[in-house]
C-alpha cells in the first residue's frame, strides 16, 4: 500500500476508521479501503450475476490504496456498515407553509445525522410582514426560519464525525433580499450556514445598465416594489468584503445546464456551491489524485500520463455509479429522485502540486491553459465511460426526456445525467497527501506544536526537494517562510523558484477567477473555489472579481478577505461605552459578550504526568507573552475518561484566552473528587480537573520564577469600557479542534492539521 503520512494517519484515526464504544480504532487503513471496495464492487451483481466481484474488489481496492482516486468522506466512513449512507450532497425544498418548513427541518436533521450536507432555497417563503390568510397573522420571513434550521443543525452536529453544514440561497428578486444579504453580518450568527444570493441574468443586465429591477412576492407572483440593481449588488459586495458572506450563484446558468428541465428548476446547491441539484436530489462525489497521473520522460522531467488518467477516470465513473446503487438513502423521496438521474461528480485534487512538478506558476496563462486542457480531457473521458456503462446497464431513467438524448447518435445512452464536479477535497486531500482540489497551495511551511511542547516545522515536499537540490534548505529558512506565509519576499531563494512556488495569497484575484472559469468550461456541474484577497483589498476589488466571474462564465463565486472573520478579543457591541473611570456599569445589566483571543501560532509550556485512578494523565499547559493560554490532556494506555478531561481542558483554554482570572479558574477546578482516584492511596490529585489545576498552578509558578508577568484579570468595568479591537492585518483563524491554522479554500474552511472542516 502507498505510504500514508503521519498527519493523514491521525486524520483517518480521528474521523474515518471504525471505532469501538471507547472510541478506539478497530480497523486499519487497509481494512477501511477493503471494506469500501468490497461493498462498492458488490453492486456489479445487480447487473450481471456472473460478474467477477472478487476481481473488481481488488481493482477498486488498488485504486484507493494507491491513492489514485478517493470517494467523498461519507462513502469512506459508511460503505459496508449498517448506516450505509454514502452521499455528501443533498438539496431539500422549503415550501411556504409551517408544515413544509418543519418537514424540511426534520429531513435535514436526518441527513445531517447520516453524514450529509444540505442546500436550501428559501425563495418560496413569503416575505416578513406578508399576510398569512390561514391565521390572520403575518409571516416572519425567510431569515427567521433560517435561524430555526441553524439551531436544529447545531443540535444534531452529526455525532462529532461530520459537522452539520448548510447552504442557504435567496433569489435576488425576493422582497427580503436586503435583510438576507446582511443576515450574517455578525460572524457569530447563523453559523451552520453558508449563504449565497441567487442572481439572474436579468438582474446582472440591470446592474450593467444602472437600472431598477422588480421585487416579487413568491406567494402571489405580484411585484411588490423595485430596487436599484447596482445598489443591491453593492450591498452584496460589501457583505462579501466584510466577512465573505454572501457568495453569489448565477441561477440561470445552473438551469441552462439542467439536463432534465421537465423535473423543475434548480434552486440551490450543496453547502460548498459546486453541486447544483433539483429538490430531493443527492450526488456522490469523488476525486482523482492528479499527482499520481504524472510520469517522468527520458530526461527525468515530469509529464502527464494521459493513458493512466483515462483509465483512472473510467474506473472512477464505474465506482461512483456503483455507489448510487448500494447507497442507503436517508429518505425514500431522495432515493427515488437520485435514482431517476443518477448524477455523479468526479473531480480532482493535487492540481497545484502538478503545476509545481511541471515548473508552471499557478498565476500564469500556461497554468490556466493546462487546467482547462486537463479538465476537458477528464470531462470527455467521463462522458465516454458513462455511455459505455449506459450500453451495458441502461440509461438513467429520465434520459428520454433529457437534453442529453439529442447528443447520442450511436445507441450508447448516458448512464449518468452529470459526471463531473470540482469539489473541495478537504480531508481526502490530506489522506492523499496533496493540495486541495484546484486551489493553489495555501502555505508551504508551518510550525506545528506537538504534545510535549516541542515544535515541528512541516514543509511541502516539493519545495523541500527543490531547495535541497539547490543547497538552500535549512530549518531557519523554513521557519521564516512559515512566518512570512509566502516565498515572494525571501530574496535568498532564486526568483525562478519563487515564480513557481506561489501560495494562495500570491495569486491575484483575477487569476483565481480565471482558473475557476477554465475548469468550469469543462465541468457538468460547478466548481468550488475560494478567491483569496489580502486584508488590504477594497470593496471595489471584490466588485471587479464578481463581475469578472460573471463575464468569464462561472456559475458562482466565493471570496475571502484575509482576516475578515477574525474574532475580536472583546466584542462589546458599542464603541460609545463610558470609560471605566467615569462610570462603572450597572451590575444588574447583562455582561458584554466576550470572545477568546485567537490561539497564538507559537507557544511555550510544560507537560507533566499525573497519576489518576484510571492510570496516567498527561497535562500540557502552554503560554505566550500574554500569559497561560491553553491546556491539552492525553490519557495513557490504561484509558480513563478522555472525553471528560479533553472537555475540561478545552473550556479551561477558552477561559484563559478570554481573560478570566487564573485564581478563579483554579478555584473551580481544585478539589473536584473522582471515586476512582480518591479510593487509591498515594495519589497527588483527586481527579482529572484537580490534576489540570495543579499543573496550571505549577506553570504559573514557573513563569513567575522566570520573570514572565501574568496579565491582570479583565474586570467587569473594563469590559464595558473596552474599545472594539482593531481588525487583524494578517492572521487566519485557528482550528477549534487542534488549534492549527485554518485554510479558506474551495468555498469552505478546513484544517490540514487534523481534518476539521466546516462543511465537508
Q: Which of 270, 289, 322, 532 is catalytic?
A: 270
Q: What gap in Å lies between CA 307 and CA 331, rounded to an integer? A: 40
Which whole-number Å values give the CA distances from 471 to 34, 39, 194, 753, in the listed order?
43, 49, 45, 28
Selection from 570, 587, 568 nearest residue 719 by Cα: 570
Cis peptide leading into residue 183 (ω within 30°)? no
Q: What angle, rounded to 10 degrees, do the helices at 29-41 and 306-326 form? A: 70
Contact by Cβ (8 Å): 275, 262: no
354, with CB counted inside 10 A (0-12, 13-18, 19+), is buried
Known catalytic membership, residue 150: no
Q: What gap in Å lies between CA 491 and CA 349, rounded to an integer? A: 31
Q: Where are the beta strands (DSSP E) in 112-252?
A: 117-121, 131-132, 137-138, 166-171, 193-199, 212-216, 223-228, 247-250
Residue 334: all three cell numbers together: 431522495
Known catalytic membership, residue 270: yes
Residue 242: all three cell numbers together: 466584510
Q: What gap in Å lies between CA 674 and CA 678, rounded to an integer? A: 6
Residues forming beta bridges with residue 345, ordered by sequence position = 285
DSSP 237-249: HHHHHHHS--EEE
Q: Which of 183, 272, 748, 759 is catalytic?
A: 272
Residue 10: all three cell numbers together: 491521525
Q: What gap in Å lies between CA 568 and CA 323, rounded to an integer? A: 45
Q: What gap in Å lies between CA 645 and CA 637, rounded to an integer? A: 15
Q: What secondary structure letter does DSSP report for 19?
A: B
- Give the β-pairing of 117-121 and 89-92: parallel
Phi, psi of 742 (to 5 degrees): -90, 145
- Unique residue bearing C-alpha cell 478497530: 26
Residue 3: all three cell numbers together: 505510504
**What contacts 332, CB < 8 A, 6 or more positions away?**
none
Known catalytic membership, residue 646: no
Q: Which of 267, 274, 281, 745 is catalytic?
A: 274
Would you say how long the chain is, in residues? Answer: 760
How many Å from the N-terminal Cα to the C-terminal Cα in the chain? 26
Selection from 295, 278, 276, 274 nearest residue 286 by Cα: 274
Residue 481: all three cell numbers together: 517562510
Q: Would you give the distance in Å from CA 605 to the centre of its chain?
A: 31
Which whole-number Å values give the CA distances from 176 to 179, 430, 521, 687, 718, in the listed order?
6, 40, 33, 54, 39
Residues forming beta bridges with residue 288, ordered by sequence position = 69, 348
Selection from 113, 118, 127 nearest residue 157 by Cα: 113
Q: What gap in Å lies between CA 245 and CA 560, rounded to an integer? A: 9
Contact by Cβ (8 Å): 442, 504: yes
**Catalytic annotation, residues:** 270, 272, 274
Amino acid at each position: 500500500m502507498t505510504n500514508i503520512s503521519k498527519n493523514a494517519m491521525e486524520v483517518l484515526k480521528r474521523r474515518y476508521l471504525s471505532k469501538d464504544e471507547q472510541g478506539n480504532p478497530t480497523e486499519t487503513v487497509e481494512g477501511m479501503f477493503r471494506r469500501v471496495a468490497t461493498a462498492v464492487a458488490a453492486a456489479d451483481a445487480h447487473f450481471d450475476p456472473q460478474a467477477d466481484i472478487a476481481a473488481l474488489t481488488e481493482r477498486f481496492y488498488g485504486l484507493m490504496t494507491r491513492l489514485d482516486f478517493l470517494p467523498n468522506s461519507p462513502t469512506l466512513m459508511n460503505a459496508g456498515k449498517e448506516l450505509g449512507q454514502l452521499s455528501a450532497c443533498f438539496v431539500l425544498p422549503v415550501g411556504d407553509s409551517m408544515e413544509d418548513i418543519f418537514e424540511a427541518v426534520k429531513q435535514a436533521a436526518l441527513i445531517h445525522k447520516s453524514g450529509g450536507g444540505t442546500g436550501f432555497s428559501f425563495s418560496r417563503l413569503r416575505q416578513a410582514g406578508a399576510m398569512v390568510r390561514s391565521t390572520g397573522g403575518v409571516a416572519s420571513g425567510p431569515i427567521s426560519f433560517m435561524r430555526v434550521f441553524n439551531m436544529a443543525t447545531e443540535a444534531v452536529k452529526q455525532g462529532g464525525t461530520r459537522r452539520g453544514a448548510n447552504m442557504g440561497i435567496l433569489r435576488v428578486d425576493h422582497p427580503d433580499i436586503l435583510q438576507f444579504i446582511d443576515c450574517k453580518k455578525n460572524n457569530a450568527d447563523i453559523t451552520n450556514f453558508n449563504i449565497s444570493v441567487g442572481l439572474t441574468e436579468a438582474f446582472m443586465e440591470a446592474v450593467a445598465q444602472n437600472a431598477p429591477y422588480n421585487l416579487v412576492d413568491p406567494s402571489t407572483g405580484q411585484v411588490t416594489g423595485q430596487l436599484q440593481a447596482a445598489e443591491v449588488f453593492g450591498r452584496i459586495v460589501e457583505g462579501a468584503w466584510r466577512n465573505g458572506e454572501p457568495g453569489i450563484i448565477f441561477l440561470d446558468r445552473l438551469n441552462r445546464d439542467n439536463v432534465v428541465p421537465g423535473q423543475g428548476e434548480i434552486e440551490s446547491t450543496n453547502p460548498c456551491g459546486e453541486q447544483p441539484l433539483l429538490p430531493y436530489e443527492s450526488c456522490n462525489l469523488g476525486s482523482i489524485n492528479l499527482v499520481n497521473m504524472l510520469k517522468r520522460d527520458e530526461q527525468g522531467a515530469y509529464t502527464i500520463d494521459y493513458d493512466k488518467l483515462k483509465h483512472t477516470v473510467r474506473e472512477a465513473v464505474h465506482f461512483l455509479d456503483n455507489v448510487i446503487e448500494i447507497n442507503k438513502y436517508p429518505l425514500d423521496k431522495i432515493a427515488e429522485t437520485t435514482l431517476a438521474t443518477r448524477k455523479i461528480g468526479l473531480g480532482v485534487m493535487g492540481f497545484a502540486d502538478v503545476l509545481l512538478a511541471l515548473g508552471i506558476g499557478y498565476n500564469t496563462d500556461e497554468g490556466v491553459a493546462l487546467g482547462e486542457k486537463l479538465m476537458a480531457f477528464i470531462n470527455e473521458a467521463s462522458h465516454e465511460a458513462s455511455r459505455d456503462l449506459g450500453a451495458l446497464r441502461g440509461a438513467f431513467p429520465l434520459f428520454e426526456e433529457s437534453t442529453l438524448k439529442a447528443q447520442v447518435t450511436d445507441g450508447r445512452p448516458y448512464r449518468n445525467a452529470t459526471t463531473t464536479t470540482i469539489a473541495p477535497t478537504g480531508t481526502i486531500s490530506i489522506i492523499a497527501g496533496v493540495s486541495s482540489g484546484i486551489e493553489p497551495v495555501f502555505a508551504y511551511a508551518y510550525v506545528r506544536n506537538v504534545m510535549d511542547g516541542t515544535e515541528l516545522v512541516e514543509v511541502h515536499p516539493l519545495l523541500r526537494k527543490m531547495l535541497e537540490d539547490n543547497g538552500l534548505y535549512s530549518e531557519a529558512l523554513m521557519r521564516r517562510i512559515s512566518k512570512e506565509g509566502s516565498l515572494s519576499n525571501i530574496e535568498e531563494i532564486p526568483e525562478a523558484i519563487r515564480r513557481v512556488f506561489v501560495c494562495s495569497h500570491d495569486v491575484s484575484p483575477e487569476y483565481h477567477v480565471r482558473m475557476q472559469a477554465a475548469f468550469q468550461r469543462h465541468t457538468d456541474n460547478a466548481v468550488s473555489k475560494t478567491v483569496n484577497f489580502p486584508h488590504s483589498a477594497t470593496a471595489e476589488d471584490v466588485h471587479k472579481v464578481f463581475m469578472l466571474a460573471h463575464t468569464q462564465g462561472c456559475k458562482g463565486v466565493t471570496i475571502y478577505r484575509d482576516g475578515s472573520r477574525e474574532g475580536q478579543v472583546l466584542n462589546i457591541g458599542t464603541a460609545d461605552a463610558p470609560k471605566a473611570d467615569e462610570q462603572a456599569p450597572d451590575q444588574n445589566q447583562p455582561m458584554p459578550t466576550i470572545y477568546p483571543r485567537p490561539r497564538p501560532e507559537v507557544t511555550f509550556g510544560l507537560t507533566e504526568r499525573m497519576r489518576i485512578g484510571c492510570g496516567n494523565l498527561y497535562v500540557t499547559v502552554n503560554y505566550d507573552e500574554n500569559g497561560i493560554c491553553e491546556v491539552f490532556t492525553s490519557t495513557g494506555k490504561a484509558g480513563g475518561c478522555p472525553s471528560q478531561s479533553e472537555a475540561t481542558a478545552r473550556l479551561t483554554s477558552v477561559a484563559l484566552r478570554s481573560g478570566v482570572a487564573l485564581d478563579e479558574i483554579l478555584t473551580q477546578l481544585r478539589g473536584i473528587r473522582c471515586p476512582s482516584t480518591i479510593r487509591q492511596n498515594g495519589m497527588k490529585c483527586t481527579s482529572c480537573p484537580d490534576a489540570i489545576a495543579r499543573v496550571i498552578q505549577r506553570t504559573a509558578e514557573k513563569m513567575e520564577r522566570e520573570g514572565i508577568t501574568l496579565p491582570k484579570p479583565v474586570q467587569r468595568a473594563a469590559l464595558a469600557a473596552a474599545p472594539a479591537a482593531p481588525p487583524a492585518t494578517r492572521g487566519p483563524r485557528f482550528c477549534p479542534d487542534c488549534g492549527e491554522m485554518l485554510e479558506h479554500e474551495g468555498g469552505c474552511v478546513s484544517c490540514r492539521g487534523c481534518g476539521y472542516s466546516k462543511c465537508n
